[in-house]
Structure 1
Amino acid sequence: MRYLLTLHMNPTLWATLTDDQKNGVYEGHGEFIKLITGSGEMVETKALAEAAETKTVTVEDGVAHTTTGGFVESEAFLCGYYVVDVESEARAVELAAKIPDAQYTAVEVRKVVHEG
């Protein structure tokens, strides 16, 4: 079963972390990638740009409208994700707890129900 593990960034929280804590997060991602690659559970991972660099598109009466910023009006934003292929939801949750960001913010675990 494939699961999407989403990471969310809160810039205010991130600004309170020490350089050592930030470096721990960066290094922790390298370790996590080695773990899930070695176990054969890695499908893909992506880091995403900040919400300020995001364009949100809506269509009204056939006309596309673009705004700058994320869809959800919030200080926190989706900053990256992992897709893992695991035997159970419990394993996906176990892996999510190993992502270094989980020390500071939530990691969402969502089952992939369709791939195209």
Structure 2
Amino acid sequence: MKYVLMIYSSPASWNALSQQDRDRVGREHAALGEELRESGEWVGGNALADPSRSVAVRVRGDVVTATDGPFAEVKEHIAGYYVVECETLDRAVEIAAKMPDSKLCHVEVRPVMRPGGLEM
């Protein structure tokens, strides 16, 4: 089964970290990524740009509207994601708990759906 592990962050929690702690977070992500590649559970993942760089697209009738962010005053935003393939939800939660972000803000684990609505 495939799962997306969405990394939530907040400017307050990230800005409170020293450069040394930020570097540690990066090293922990690299080590976990290597562990998941070795186990065959890694599918992919990336960090995401700041929400101020995003664009919201809406179609109403035949009118397409693209609006630059930020869109709302939020305390947290999705800062990145992992996609893993593992046997159980419990294993996906175990992986999420190893992510440094689970100690800073939180990580959401969500099953990936196939185009007919079935989980992958």
Query: C-alpha separation between the residues in 2 aligned to 1:25 and 1:103?
Result: 10
Structure 1: 5+ residue stretches without partners: none
Counterpart for residue 53 of structure 1 = 53
Counterpart for residue 67 of structure 2 = 67
For residue 75 of structure 1, report the CA deviation from its aligned partner. 3.4
Letter in 2 for 1:95: I
Structure 2: 5+ residue stretches without partners: none
For residue 72 of structure 1, report the CA deviation from its aligned partner. 5.6
Cα RMSD for the two superposed structures = 1.7
Query: C-alpha separation between the residues in 2 aligned to 1:2 and 1:54?
Result: 26
For residue 115 of structure 1, report the CA deviation from its aligned partner. 5.6
Number of residue pairs matched by the alignment: 116
TM-score (norm. length: structure 1): 0.92
Query: C-alpha separation between the residues in 2 aligned to 1:115 and 1:19?
Result: 42
Counterpart for residue 111 of structure 1 = 111
Query: C-alpha separation between the residues in 2 aligned to 1:6 and 1:114?
Result: 18
Instruction: Out of 12-21 and 67-76, give the one that drifted further.
Output: 67-76
Moved over 6 A (4+): none
TM-score (norm. length: structure 2): 0.89
**Secondary structure at the residue paired with 1:22?**
helix
Query: C-alpha separation between the residues in 2 aligned to 1:85 and 1:73?
Result: 34
Asked if structure 1 preserves the Cα contact closer than 8 Å seen for 2:5 and 2:109, the reply is: yes
Is residue 2:30 matched to residue 1:5? no
